[in-house]
Structure formats: structure tokens, C-alpha cells
Structure 1
């Protein structure tokens, strides 16, 4: 289909789609200064450019849409924009507030969590969708000041998006004046499939597509995110580490621990997708790890290996050895080989070298002296370490790994490590109960989750490790039932656990760069199909993608088969913590 045919066809579809909403009274005119009107936004773009946005107002919806249709054709003909994505937003609510009130509201809102559009005049001549505001960093904190309207970024965007831009935006011009906050009803079309998708417009879910079935969508997300990570692996095996999305700013740092953990999640994705290109990319990444980061230290009897983070002061991190083992063992598991077994065992011996007499661990050494740099740095390292030893034990059945894990768990239980609510500890506890199904381990694992459940359910940030933590706990509850130890379920609210898992699986979709959101960033193709952290400048980093991906892999394998066949997803109310759409 040609670009022009696509534009013509999709506008015809949009006309029918929204006319149906109007007839069903799902969409009405809004009242602005005592006049009823439709305010319609057109966003049009493709993976290579930031979306162009136009708007029209009219008491006749079809007239406004027809005017936008003409603008889309003009953009294609005069500026040679090849449209892949077209989105229509129709204002459904508008509230007049003072400019001072607007500034106070912005200052009190979490970074990048402002979910309203703003119009600075009643005619909507200077008006921005929520996605334009966030996609262009128009609301920023400078020098630790409260978040505020950023004149520089607003004017930079106006020069890009307004062809006859003449008057720069100046905040002082709006002092003591009234502005409008607004919400929209939105639909999106992707040229690939040409179906119109409705989007949510809730306070936390604004702009994300509605779906019918969470299992189908979770598999879609796994596939897209796995290929996203695969495409970040360069020829030498090193990842493109990530981007701050608004301005396509590449992240210049690197962390070898996250390199390995991302390979681990890619191998999890491969397990479900079974595309050889994915596992070849994992292998390339492993070879980079071996070549660039692994060193060997001669022990009295056996070789000992460590992962050196050369980019970060040549640190040897407990977690780096652990995630390297996780990547190697997962690769061997899904390829049914023992290609890296000896290396994984040498890395495990490195972990044992970092144990303390108490049962805990030294967290960071310095290469090449192997002196202690940090006795403790971050709690995740210890969960990663024992989980990796258990994954190695599953392959080689050497009792030394299991024995050391049990000693560590005695230390963790004695020191109430469950209070850390670490997802890696959940993984490790679930793994340990496969071999040692003792009550004390189950109780530890359940407490690691239960005390955090309420917080997890209601958390407004996507926090992908929450799905990992709850899924590991869910697997433990199933094991408890199989072992007929149901009395242990007193330590967990099982129904609330399941509700929390399903809620988080659905809510995490608001952290995925669907094209309807990616299109507002500078170079959408760089970050489309990646997962992001909204409050970190829409950061897409390999480990961000990794945690979302691992959680969804666990969800699809162990939770969705248990959902009723009639189960359908709805974000209305649930995703907005009870706020109706």
C-alpha cells in the first residue's frame, strides 16, 4: 500500500471509528469559554523522526478530521514524510486553572508523571498533548529546583513542529492568566497491520493500548523485547548499553554485571521463541564477556575465575561473577550443552572465595590485588550469588555448591534478610526448595514477599523486579501444595498474591515503548519495543529491558496457564488504583 493510500484509508477508518463513539455517547464536545466544540489532534510519524503534531477545532467532528486529513497529505507531498504511525486524540475533558495553579501542580508531580495535556489559550493554538510534554522534556528540574516548565525545550520543540514559528514561549507572558488542563480519547493506527487500536486515558495508563488477553500480549512483549535486546548486541558481542529516549542520548557508561544478566534474560526469551538468531547473539555476548572481563587466579588445587569490571575501576563484584554464571548456565540449559561448564565452576569458586566466616559475603574486591574494596555494597549481590550456585548445582550436582548455599541461608534467616524483599533471594529460595523443601526455607521465601505485597500492588512506578519477586513466590506456593504443606500458606495471602501478580503484569505494559508512545521521542526506532523507566528520563537500558523480560517469561510459563479461559484484561480502575477511566 502506498503512503497516500494509507493516509486516505486510515482517515476514513478513523472517521467511522470516532463517529461510532460519538453516536454511542462515549465522546462529546467539550465546553471552552461557553462554547461547545471538538478539539482534535493528529500525530503522524515513523521510526526515523519525532512525530509531527497538528490540531483542529470545530463544532463538527468530521470537519476537524477532514482538515487534519488535508494536513497529513500536505506533509507527505511537500515534506516527503513517509507515514508509518498515525494517532488521533480528541479532547474529552478540559479544566480551566490559573497559571500559578499549573506551576504548583507541575512542581508537586513526580518526574515524567504529569499525565495531562496543557493548552495555554482557549483556542488551543498553543497546546501540547501529554506525550509531547514528556517526550520533549518540557517539564524539568534544573539544579535540583522543583519540576517546572522548561522554556528552552518548549521553544526547541516549537521550532521543529510549528512551520511558521515566530513567537517564543515565555512563562512570564502567562502570569496571572488562565490555562487549560485536558485529557483525550485516543486511537492509533500502525501501517503494518492497519487496524485501529484504542488507547487508555487513565491517570497512570494514558496513551497505552487496550488489549483483550494478557497471555497473548505478554508473549508479544516477550518476543519484541527479546529481539530488541538481540539487536543491541554489536558485532564484537558488546551491547549498546542504552538511551535516554527524549533526545536519543546514548548512555556512555557500561557495567559488565548488567551485560551478563541481560544475556541471561535473552536466553529466557529464546527458550520461548526458539529463534536461533537469538541464541547466536547470546553466544556472541558470552564470548565478549570471556574475552574482555574474565580473569583467572590460580588456587591451591583448582582454577578460580573472577569477572573484572574494567569500566568501573577494575572492580570484582560478587554480583558480576553471579550473573556470569547465570548467563552461562541458562545458555547451556537451553542449548542442552556443557560448553561453558568448567568456566561456570571456576566462577563459582570465585564466589566461594568471597564468602566470609559468618556466612555472608564480601561484595567488592579490587583487581589485580584482590583486596577488599567494599565489604557491603548492595543487597542484590548476595541473592544473585546463591541463586547462581543453585543454577550451577542443577547442572553438575556437585554438593559443595548446595552446601554453601545452605550455610548462607542459615545466615540470611538468622539476620532476617527477608526484610530486604530482594527478588534474587526469592529466585534463590524457590530454587533451594526444589532440593531442600524444608519449612524454614519456605517461610523465609513467603515472608520475603508478604510484607511487601500491599506496596507492590499499589506502586505507581512500573518497578519490573516486583513481577519477578511475586512470580518466584507464586511458584513456591504451588510447590507447597504439591508437598501437602498447606499450613505454610498461613505466611502468605495467596489470593492477594495472585491478584498482585496479574495486576503488575498488566501495569508493567505502561513501561513498554509501544509505537504510540515511542513516536514522540527524537528517534523512535532506537527505543521502540524496549522497556523503559519513566522517572529516569524514559531510560531504556539493557538491564531495564532484562528485568521486565524475565518477569514476563516467568508469568507466561507459570501463571497464565492457570488463568481461567474467560479471563480478559481490563486496566479500567485497576491500573489507576481505583480511579475510573
Structure 2
């Protein structure tokens, strides 16, 4: 099998032999091989022998025999040589899991000294073996272990019943191969389990953008509705919908299409916008007789943020195509936002009931405020209609008084960046700097990918660069740690690759082809939802433009 040999070559010594030490005296050297066809969860076989070469031969023979027996044409192959082993008690491993964020345990585990019952780290994650959604930390899931073991070993197994029972945690030297190439696999850290990326270049970022935007476009059904999302461990569809995220995901897809000019992406955008403008957005008459429009969501809710992201999508579409057809609708959506603002304080109401337009929630989430102001600023940038700038400036009186910068919201970062283009006032710049200045440690240290952090940083970067270039305003940057800011931005951008569904990771999930090329939220059971992909895309697109 050619893929097997290509993966093996990356692990071999210069003389072509496979180096390796015994995992345990009982097991000897251990090689595990995973093969997948893209349509179902990868199959894993093992070889154990005195030398790594002998273990390789046994494992590769077993992989070829398995593929022939089940009629598989392997498209994805991983070769894993057990490299470092840490014996411990089951109780000690459980204690370690209790200190580890769920799905962030990146080691394999053998339940016997001979490594007859050994599970690779991506197997454990792909089958949710240490995942229990009711707790924040990693936790053994007996049901999922039994289900996985029955397929892998032909019989159900259970976790040890006694805390003193021995187990063996291990790390591998691994390589992956498919039709596109072969790559060494990162063994440790938060990048463990996917290809090593020695070069973090604009080209690599662009490949991630192209892959994820193709994925997002493929989620748009012929009706214009998205496949909302998946829990990929067991290929379960997320059984709900959110029209706000429909609109915001379309906006991200438009951002990507600006780069790719892909025909299939444009067709998906057209289907999505058709549904959005013809069915999801409703015309209303305001109490003063003004004709406005609102995005309607589940439960007959009108959300302030819903109108905002509709504006973002429609403004972007208009800018990219020159098609003016949505200008009247954008004005109605903006009037709907204006009607949700208290003209005295600038504060927005967040949720209304439809069709009564009665207030349901005066406040729901901080994001709606930033979204609304950003959406209006983007419309102002398109039309130069002073009404929308006036609403935003009034809103900022409230944002500043309420110290909204303490939320470190990416939407507020987008908005203040846009506002200072047209109103380069000290108070707005100060707000934008405060929104990010004391958040840099969080951006550097947060263990989850948290894709909106890159959006926050990229919008702030544009504002900071304008400040640095303006002698009249440069003094505002005194005390702002630009070097740490730049370091945090670069770290967060690179860290987002840890949330990409590389094929070498996707192969261990129930339906690899469904998710490969997308982005996930790891601690939510590797959830792939359209808005998850949206936020990764928006941040990486801005970063690609910067790196380019």
C-alpha cells in the first residue's frame, strides 16, 4: 500500500530502518496504523515485536489484510510508533483527567502492559471516550468506550474498577499520508494530532480560508437554508436554527468570496441571500407609521443583532457586486435598529416580540450592541447617510458611560475601528485601546481557540496602525505595549490552526467527509456550527490580508 510506505518514510532513519524502543517489556515495540476511506471512522490495527521494524511489518500486514477483508480502499493513513510511555494507576489518570479541560487530553492510553488494548489519542477524542458533556473537565465515558471497543476489538471493554489498577499513557511519533502528500504529526502540546506546520505563511493561511469557505458554501442547501451544524463524534445534526447566524455566516462567506471568486461560493451566497431577504426578513410598520424591516428568529423574536448582521451581509454584497437591489431593504433594516434605540441615552433594546414589537428583553448579550453599531457604520460607509452615523455616535455615549470596553467584545472592536475612520476623536480611540489593552494575557494564554479573539485583535490592529501614523494622535499609544500586542496577535492567528479539521484528525470521527476542511470548537465535543466556521474565517481572512 503506497500510502503506508509514504507515511513510514517520514518516521524512518536515514538508512531506511524504523528506529524505536520498547513501549514496555511485555509489549516490546508497538506500531499502530489507522486507515480510513473518508466515509466512516478510521480502523486501527497494531503490531508488537522486539524491534520497531518487526512491529511495523506486523501492523502493515494487519492493515492490508483488514482493508482487503472489509473491501476498503484507504484514502487516509496514519502510522504511529509508540515513543514515550508513562505508567500510572487508574486513579492517578482519573485525577489528571479531572484537571484537564474536556477534549484536551492529548495522549493515548493502554489498559494492559502488552498494549493489546491501546487507544490512540485521536481515537479517544473522535469517539468521545473521555467526554461527558455535563462537566467541564475530561471524564471517562463508559458507554462510549464500550461502543468504540466493540468496533475496534470485537468485544466491549470497561474502564478499570479499581483505582490501583495500572494503565499506560503514551505519546507517539506519527506520520500521515493521503493523495495530497505526507506529513509528520505533531506529538505533544495543543497542536498534537495534526500535521506539523514548520512554515506559517500567508499561503498556508489562504489554504485554510479556501478550505473552510468551500465547506461553508457546501452547507447551503438548494433552499438557501444552511445545514446548521454537526456534533461529529457521532455525526449528529444540531437540531435547531438561528437566523442571526444564517445572516452572519453569509457575511463571512462574502468576505471569503472577495478573495476566492469561486462560482460555487457565489451560488451559495445567492441562495442564502434569497432566503434571507424573501422569507426571513419581515416588513413592519413602526408606531409612527415608518416602514421598517426586521429579521425574524425562532420564537417570533426580533433581535437587535439580527438586523445588524443582515446589514453586514447586504452591504458587503453591494460593495462586491455593485448591485443596488438591496439598498431600500438596508434602509428599512437600519430604521428598525434606530427604532430600538433610546434617543436620550443611546442605549439599545435587545429583543422584541413579533408582531407586537413589544420589548421582550431590554438586554440579552453584549454582542448585540457592537453588532448594531458596526452594521450601521458599514451602511454609513456605503451610503454616507448621516442618520446612521448619528445613531452610532449616540450609542457610543452609552457605551463609554457604561464602560462597555470591559467586555473586550470583538464586535465593538470592529465598530470602533470603523467609527474612527470617519470620526477620529480621542474618546473613541481611547475606548478602542481599552477594549484590548489589558486583554493581551488572555489572548496569549487562552487554551481554547476562541476564534473571535483574532477578530478582536485584527480590528484593533487597523486602529492602532492609524494612530501610530498620525502625529496628532500618536500620544494615545503611550503605555500601550505594541510588542506584546503584536506577539499576542500572531500567537492567536497561528493557534487557530488547532481548530481546523485536518483530514488526519477528521478520519477518526463518524463521518470524516462531512467535516474535513471545516473548523470546530473542541471543548464542545468538536462541534462544527456555521457560526463557528464564520468566526474562524473572518479572523483568518483579515489576518491573511495583513500577512499578504
Q: TM-score, normalised by structure 1?
A: 0.90
**1:61 to 2:52 alignment:** yes
Q: Distance in 1 between matches of 2:161 and 2:418?
A: 62
Note the C-alpha offset of 1:100: 1.1
Equivalent residue for 2:127?
A: 136
Q: Distance in 2 between matches of 1:208 and 1:170?
A: 28
Note the C-alpha offset of 1:200: 1.1
Note the C-alpha offset of 1:281: 1.1
Equivalent residue for 2:3?
A: 10
Equivalent residue for 1:541?
A: 529
Alignment partner for residue 32 of structure 1, among 20, 24, 30? 24
What does 1:314-393 correspond to in 2, within 5 Å? 314-356=300-342, 357-393=344-380
Q: Distance in 2 between matches of 1:497 and 1:511?
A: 22
Note the C-alpha offset of 1:75: 2.2
Q: Distance in 1 between matches of 2:315 and 2:244?
A: 15
Runs of 4+ aligned residues of structure 1 deviating over 6 Å after TM superposition are: 21-25
Equivalent residue for 1:448?
A: 435
What does 1:487-506 correspond to in 2, within 5 Å? 487-506=475-494
Q: Distance in 2 between matches of 1:21 and 1:263?
A: 50
Q: Distance in 1 between matches of 2:12 and 2:47?
A: 16
Alignment partner for residue 522 of structure 1, among 506, 510, 517? 510
Larger mean CA deviation between 9-18 and 177-186 belongs to 9-18
Note the C-alpha offset of 1:131: 0.7
Render the CA deviation track for 1:492-527: whole Å, top value 9, x for unaligned: 211111111111111111111000110100001111
Alignment partner for residue 191 of structure 2, among 205, 210, 219? 205
* Structure 1 contact 215–556 (Cα < 8 Å) conserved: yes
Equivalent residue for 2:84?
A: 93
What does 1:301-320 correspond to in 2, within 5 Å? 302-309=290-297, 311=298, 313-320=299-306
**1:474 to 2:465 alignment:** no
* Structure 1 contact 15–62 (Cα < 8 Å) conserved: no
Superposition RMSD on alpha carbons, in Å? 1.9
Q: Distance in 1 between matches of 2:438 and 2:232?
A: 35
What does 1:212-227 correspond to in 2, within 5 Å? 212-227=199-214
* Structure 2 contact 194–505 (Cα < 8 Å) conserved: yes
Q: Distance in 1 between matches of 2:21 and 2:182?
A: 22
Where does the alignment leave 5 or more consecutive residues of structure 1 unmatched?
1-6, 562-581
* Structure 1 contact 188–196 (Cα < 8 Å) conserved: yes
Equivalent residue for 1:282?
A: 269
State the SS of the aligned residue for 2:13. Answer: helix
* Structure 2 contact 10–184 (Cα < 8 Å) conserved: no
| Residue 196 to residue 360, structure 1, CA distance change in 2 (3 Å) | same
Larger mean CA deviation between 263-272 and 436-445 belongs to 436-445
Q: Distance in 2 between matches of 1:174 and 1:252?
A: 39
Note the C-alpha offset of 1:353: 0.4
Equivalent residue for 2:243?
A: 256
Where does the alignment leave 5 or more consecutive residues of structure 2 unmatched?
none
Note the C-alpha offset of 1:140: 2.9
State the SS of the aligned residue for 1:187. Answer: strand
Q: Distance in 2 between matches of 1:145 and 1:459?
A: 15
Note the C-alpha offset of 1:298: 2.5
Note the C-alpha offset of 1:21: 7.1
Q: TM-score, normalised by structure 2?
A: 0.96
> Number of matched residues?
544
